[in-house]
C-alpha cells in the first residue's frame, strides 16, 4: 500500500544544513504504518481513558505542573549544563535506560531502550538514506538517564512528560492544565501574561522550557560537539513540546529558524509516538549499524554528561 506524506527531508541534506528544503511528496511502499491503538489497546495519548496507567499518569502531571516553576528550571539547568555528572558513551547511556519505565507515558510501560529502538527502526524503514534521522530517533530520549542515581536520581516529574515554557502564561492545551493552578507562577503577574518575560518572535532558543530529558540531551549533544544538523538538535530539544507541535500553541515565541525546524519535528513525531508497541527489536542485530552512526556524528566515543 502506498502512503503519501508531505516530506521536508531530502537525501542530499548535509550536517551543515541549517534550514529545510522545500517539502516534497514521497511515496512509501510497505513503510511504517500508524497502528490503530497503543500497547494497551487504547487511542494514543488518551489521558482520560480508564486504564491501569491512567492514575499513575495523572498523578505524575499533577506533581509536575505544581513544581516546574521558572526559578526551579533556572536552578536545575545551571547545575546540569555543567555536564559534570558522568563520562560515558552513547551506548552506555542507552543500556542505563533499561532500568526505567516512563510514568508519564499512557501508551507504553516497557523499558526505554525498547522505545528508542522502535522509533529509530521505524524511521529507518521509511527513510533508509537519511541516517542522521535514524540516530536522532535512537538518542532523542537519552536524557532520561537523569533518573539514574549517578545523575542525581531526579524524580520522574523533573525528567519526563510533555514540556512547556516557563516564565509566561500556561496554555490550556497542556495536558491536565488544571493542575497549573497549584504552581506559584500561575498567579505571579511577572510570569502569568501571554509573553511573560519574553518578547514576541524571540526564538525558542531564548525561552526557558520545563526542565527535563529533552533539554538535557540537547545540551549533551551540543556541548560534546556532535555534527548532527540543527533540525536534529531541534527534534531532540522539543520532541516533548506537544502544546506546540500538536496544538500550535506558543507559536508567537518562534522565529523563522524555529518554523523551518518544526516541519522536521512534525515528521519525526509520527515515529516517536506511533511506533510504541510490545514488539521487541533484536538489539544485537541492529547494534553495529547504530554504533557506526554514533561514530560518524560524535567526534569522541566518551562524552561528558
Residue 140, annotated as binding a ligand:
yes
Residue 141, annotated as binding a ligand:
yes
C-alpha cell at position 180: 497549573
Predicted confidence at residue 27, as pLDDT, reads: 31
Residue 199, annotated as binding a ligand:
no
Contacts of 121 (CB under 8 A, 6+ apart): 137, 275, 281, 286
Name the helix (H) or strand (E) containing 233.
helix 230-238
Query: Residue 93's Cα: distance from chain center in Å?
Result: 16
Predicted confidence at residue 116, as pLDDT, reads: 92
Name the helix (H) or strand (E) containing 134.
helix 131-139
Measured from the Cβ of residue 2, the count of other Cβ atoms closer than 10 Å reads: 8
Residue 54 has pLDDT above 90, yes or no: no
Residue 103, annotated as binding a ligand:
yes
The CA-based dihedral angle spanning residues 262, 96, 68, 234, taken in that order and rounded to the nearest 10 degrees: -10
Residue 29 has pLDDT above 60, yes or no: no
Rounded CA gap, 60 and 247, in Å? Answer: 21
Residue 251, annotated as binding a ligand:
no
Residue 65, annotated as binding a ligand:
no
Residue 53, annotated as binding a ligand:
no
Which whole number is the average pLDDT over 186-194?
A: 98
Residue 215, annotated as binding a ligand:
no
Residue 284 has pLDDT above 60, yes or no: yes
Residue 97 has pLDDT above 90, yes or no: no
Residue, of 138 and 96, whose pLDDT is higher:
138
* Whole-number Cα distances in Å, 190 to 170, 182, 187, 194, 197: 13, 16, 9, 10, 7
Residue 68 has pLDDT above 60, yes or no: yes
Q: Give me the phi and psi of 162, to 5 degrees please.
A: -60, 145
Which whole number is the average pLDDT over 91-119?
A: 76
Residue 12, annotated as binding a ligand:
no
Residue 115 has pLDDT above 90, yes or no: no
Residue 148, annotated as binding a ligand:
no
When the pLDDT of each residue in the chain is averaged and rounded to a whole number, the result is 85
Lowest mean pLDDT among 20-24, 94-98, 134-138, 142-146: 20-24
Residue 272, annotated as binding a ligand:
yes
Residue 115, annotated as binding a ligand:
yes
Residue 280, annotated as binding a ligand:
no
Residue 102, annotated as binding a ligand:
yes
Predicted confidence at residue 98, as pLDDT, reads: 82
The β-bridge relationship of strands 2-7 and 303-304 is: unpaired
Q: Give me the phi and psi of 5, to 5 degrees please.
A: -130, 155
Amino acid at each position: 500500500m502506498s502512503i503519501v506524506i508531505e516530506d521536508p527531508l531530502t537525501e542530499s541534506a548535509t550536517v551543515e544544513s541549517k534550514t529545510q528544503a522545500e517539502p516534497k511528496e514521497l511515496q512509501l511502499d510497505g513503510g511504517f504504518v500508524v497502528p490503530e491503538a497503543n500497547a494497551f489497546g487504547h487511542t494514543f495519548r488518551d489521558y482520560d481513558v480508564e486504564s491501569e496507567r491512567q492514575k499513575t499518569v495523572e498523578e505524575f502531571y499533577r506533581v509536575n505542573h505544581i513544581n516546574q516553576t521558572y526559578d526551579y528550571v533556572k536552578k536545575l539547568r545551571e547545575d546540569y549544563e555543567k555536564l559534570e555528572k558522568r563520562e560515558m558513551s552513547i551506548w552506555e547511556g542507552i543500556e542505563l535506560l533499561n532500568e526505567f519505565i516512563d510514568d508519564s507515558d499512557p501508551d507504553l510501560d516497557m523499558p526505554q531502550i525498547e522505545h528508542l529502538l522502535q522509533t529509530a527502526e521505524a524511521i529507518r524503514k521509511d527513510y533508509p538514506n537519511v541516517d542522521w534521522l535514524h540516530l536522532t530517533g535512537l538518542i532523542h530520549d537519552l536524557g532520561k538517564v537523569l533518573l539514574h542515581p549517578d545523575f542525581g536520581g531526579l524524580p520522574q516529574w523533573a525528567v519526563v512528560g510533555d514540556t512547556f515554557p516557563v516564565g509566561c502564561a500556561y496554555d490550556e492545551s497542556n495536558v491536565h492544565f488544571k493542575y497549573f493552578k497549584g504552581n506559584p507562577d500561575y498567579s505571579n503577574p511577572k510570569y502569568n501574561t501571554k509573553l511573560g518575560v519574553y518578547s514576541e518572535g524571540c526564538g525558542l532558543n531564548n525561552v526557558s522550557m520545563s526542565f527535563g530529558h529533552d533539554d538535557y540531551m540537547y545540551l549533551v549533544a551540543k556541548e560534546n560537539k556532535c555534527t548532527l544538523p540543527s533540525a536534529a538538535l531541534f527534534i531532540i530539544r522539543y520532541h516533548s513540546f506537544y502544546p506546540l507541535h500538536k496544538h500550535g500553541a506558543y507559536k508567537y515565541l518562534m522565529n523563522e529558524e524555529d518554523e523551518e525546524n518544526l516541519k522536521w519535528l512534525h515528521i519525526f513525531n509520527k515515529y516517536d509516538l506511533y511506533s510504541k508497541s510490545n514488539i521487541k527489536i533484536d538489539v544485537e542485530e541492529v547494534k553495529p549499524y547504530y554504533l557506526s552512526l554514533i561514530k560518524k556524528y560524535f567526534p569522541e566515543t566518551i562524552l561528558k554528561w
